[in-house]
Structure 1
Amino acid sequence: MKTSQKFFHQLLMLYRPFENKLNFHLAEHQLHRAQWSIFHYLSNNGPATLVELSHYLYVEKPTVTRTINRLEELGYVGQVPSNDKREKRIHLTELGKKVFTDVRVTIDQFENDILIGVSEHEQLEAIRIMGIIRNHIIK
């Protein structure tokens, strides 16, 4: 088997177990991965439009809209007035910020546990490589 084939096979073998375990830990907080990804984006980048979130998550806008609607029902996100009245800018509410902080503790522990034996240098190299590959995929 070629190295590139092994590489992508390992990537596929990593993704599902990671997502399943992540969802297990998020379920402790009544969340799932798609919601967590939106929390993560808004916490790190500030308010965003539905289009910006859909591009970030690489999903269709209706998918993001459904997830945002649920987070809004829970009181975790709200809308910020925008110059363009047709455009919704979504932000984390104070409750959303608190929930993010609480969940971040759980996810940090999970991520630290699964990265045991992987140095920070190796992590940074993997991040760099994944970024290159993603850019090739979405160009």
Structure 2
Amino acid sequence: MMLYRPFENQLNVELNKHKLHRAQWTILYYLYNFGSATLVEIANYQGVEKPTITRTFSRLEELGYVEQLAGKDKREKRMQLTILGRTVYEQVRVTIDQFEEECLKGISEEEQQKIIQIMEKVRSNLMK
């Protein structure tokens, strides 16, 4: 798609300012907004395979941004943000908000809502 690549490239430039890439940001976003999760839940959310999430999660763990929770079931490992991870998320969120504002400059609130509705329909059609 003609929009996806430039958006993805610029998003990575913005995330690079915080030494992160999109896959890492998506995990931080998920855990911050939805709370603790299993790797399978995060993989399903991102639409990728679990091994991909496992590698990304390991890197975030090395950075001290995420940690494993002691679960009731030893087979199910739940992940959560650390205090540092929450702080980093909030810092990166400011950068992302500014980036999104730049992307939407000159597009009215009404037009933005229409775009969201259209994209939801496209997504729904793709998921059939």
**TM-score bracket for the superposition, by shorter chain length:** over 0.9
- Match of 1:82, SS state, is coil
TM-score w.r.t. length of structure 1: 0.87
Select between 91-100 and 122-131 the one with higher mean Cα deviation. Answer: 122-131
Map of 1:96 onto structure 2: 85
- Structure 1 residue 63 and structure 2 residue 62: aligned? no
Q: Which runs of 5+ in 2 are unaligned?
A: none
**Matches of 1:83 and 1:133, distance apart in 2:** 39
Correspondence for 1:133 among 119, 122, 128: 122
- Match of 1:79, SS state, is strand
Tell me how far 1:126 sits from its aligned partner.
Answer: 1.8
Tell me how far 1:135 sits from its aligned partner.
Answer: 2.7
RMSD in angstroms over aligned alpha carbons? 1.1
- Structure 1 residue 111 and structure 2 residue 110: aligned? no
Map of 2:6 onto structure 1: 17
**Matches of 1:95 and 1:136, distance apart in 2:** 39
Correspondence for 1:36 among 25, 30, 50: 25
Tell me how far 1:76 sits from its aligned partner.
Answer: 0.3
Bigger RCO of structures 1 and 2 (CA < 8 A, at least 6 apart): 2
Q: Which runs of 5+ in 1 are unaligned?
A: 1-11
- Match of 2:2, SS state, is helix
